[in-house]
Amino acid sequence: MRVLVIEDNEDFRKLALMWFQSYGIEVEGAANGAQGLALQRARPADVIVTDIFMPEMEGIETIHDLRDRRGARADRSYGARRPLTQGCSHKQKGPVLRSRPGFLV
């Protein structure tokens, strides 16, 4: 299994990478949505964990871009069905993490 973590907070991104690695999971990190898209194009991940509020390209914009590219490409590996876990700001009311198994990105 390969995981892609897209998170602008460097400390949290490093912590997430170390956590996945401690379980023997191959993981790669990106500092923003644009970097995440480039990594996903190069080596599609099985699971994408993304922050929602980021500079340059927010998580929702990244998700929409992944969806759009899935429909535009004959190679379905780029945007195949990927589980998505969405991180929310600590200032936002409600759950901190929401999992959406089978979410199409």
Q: Where are the domains of the chain?
A: 2-100
Whether 94 shows a pLDDT value over 60: the answer reads no
Whether 12 shows a pLDDT value over 90: the answer reads yes
Q: Does domain 2-100 have CATH number 3.40.50.2300?
A: yes
Whether 24 shows a pLDDT value over 90: the answer reads yes
Q: At what angle do helices 33-42 and 59-72 cross, to 10 degrees?
A: 30
Which pLDDT score, from 0 to 100, does residue 39 have?
94
Interval 20-39 mean pLDDT: 94
Give pLDDT tens digits for 52-80: 888 888 788 888 887 776 544 434 444 44
pTM of the model: 0.69
DSSP codes, 10-64: HHHHHHHHHHHHHTT-EEEEESSHHHHHHHHHHS--SEEEEESS-SSS-HHHHHH
Which pLDDT score, from 0 to 100, does residue 72 have?
44
